Structure 1
């Protein structure tokens, strides 16, 4: 990937993280901030917006670190196991393990006496649905073998990125971080192959231009 395209990916992902966090932040805290809008408290609205944008930028950076870390791990996995099907099978095991722990460990750690399993299962199901839709679309854009790696990234890597908030288990922060992470992760996953293609085309244009200029300079040399 060329540096120009990488910078474009970085900045666009930052923007997605900031916008998503701002929207989710105002939605889940609407009861707290609604009087800012009804009373036209512009300073308070801008202060809250600025706060959410800062968190969104942080979530975006975490997402990008996680994505490029996964790309490295994915290459190592393919190199170690020498088989796409075997590596995909191992990723499926990790996906099931993480989804189980997301429900069972959180329930055992944070649930009160007599509390229902449904909120804990619902969060895992939400992550599975969004991850499956994103992975299906990735496979449709590229090839069927991309489904499992994409699902692994959307579930396992997202949970790893999400872990600091999972430890606290504050509902507001759970959703405030989850949706920006999912948005940034899905965007990077779905756009990277397109950017790689553009990067290859850009390199070919540059190389073609260099070759043309070189041939032109040679043809202009005076003959003895």
Structure 2
């Protein structure tokens, strides 16, 4: 990838991270922020927006670090495992799915709590990953499906670990959605950038 294209990818992902975090931030913390809008407190609203932009930049950088780390791991996996790399990735996806449900429930579930909410979030992320992987495979080739799903599911959850460990609802969702959006954007735009002649 040419440095000019890498800079475009970096800056556009930063922008997407910031915008998505602003939207998600106001959505998940609306009860805290609605009074600012009702009072038309422009200064406070701008301060919140600036804070969310900064947080969005951090989420975007985490996403980009995960993306480039995965590109390296993927090449390493292809070299080491060759034809069984895709089955290895499927096993890892299943392992991470189980861990996300079971260990979160063990650590944060209270006596009498249902496992269903823990299962739902894992399934929702998996469905989103399947959709993005399907789009990626349609845009490129069928062989891209499993690597794309692995990135969207496993890498996204690894990037999301700080919020999982805190287990506070507003941070939980505030970090998840921008990460998924940034990861999906990078995955779907990469082949277009690589195919650019300039």
The CA distance in 2 between the partners of 1:80 and 1:97, in whole Å, is 20
2:160 is paired with a residue whose SS is helix
Task: Give 1:82 deviation, angstroms.
Answer: 2.3
Q: Which residue of 1 aligns with 2:14?
A: 14
The runs of 4+ residues in structure 1 deviating greater than 6 Å are none
The CA distance in 1 between the partners of 2:193 and 2:134, in whole Å, is 19
Task: Give 1:39 deviation, angstroms.
Answer: 1.1
Between Structure 1 and Structure 2, whose CA radius of gyration is higher?
1
For structure 1, the 5+ residue unaligned runs are 203-224
Task: Give 1:130 deviation, angstroms.
Answer: 0.7
Quote the RMSD (CA, aligned, Å): 0.6
Q: Which residue of 2 aligns with 1:37?
A: 37
Task: Give 1:38 deviation, angstroms.
Answer: 1.2
Answer yes or no: is 1:50 the counterpart of 2:54: no
The CA distance in 1 between the partners of 2:11 and 2:95, in whole Å, is 33
The CA distance in 1 between the partners of 2:131 and 2:82, in whole Å, is 28
For residues 65-120 of structure 1, what are the alpha-carbon distances to aligned partners after superposition, in whole Å with 9 as ceiling and x for unaligned? 0000000000001111222xx10000000000000100000000000111111110
Q: Which residue of 2 aligns with 1:215?
A: none
Task: Give 1:171 deviation, angstroms.
Answer: 1.0
Q: Which residue of 2 aligns with 1:175?
A: 173
For structure 2, the 5+ residue unaligned runs are none
After TM superposition, the structure 1 = structure 2 runs for residues 1-224 of structure 1, keeping only pairs within 5 Å, are 1-83=1-83, 86-198=84-196, 201-202=197-198
The CA distance in 2 between the partners of 1:38 and 1:165, in whole Å, is 30
1:82 is paired with a residue whose SS is helix
Q: Give me the TM-score of the superposition, normalised by structure 1.
A: 0.87
Task: Give 1:52 deviation, angstroms.
Answer: 0.8
The CA distance in 2 between the partners of 1:119 and 1:70, in whole Å, is 29
The CA distance in 2 between the partners of 1:17 and 1:88, in whole Å, is 29
Q: Give me the TM-score of the superposition, normalised by structure 2.
A: 0.99
The CA distance in 1 between the partners of 2:81 and 2:33, in whole Å, is 52
The CA distance in 2 between the partners of 1:172 and 1:191, in whole Å, is 29
For residues 122-153 of structure 1, what are the alpha-carbon distances to aligned partners after superposition, in whole Å with 9 as ceiling and x for unaligned? 11011001101000000000011100000000
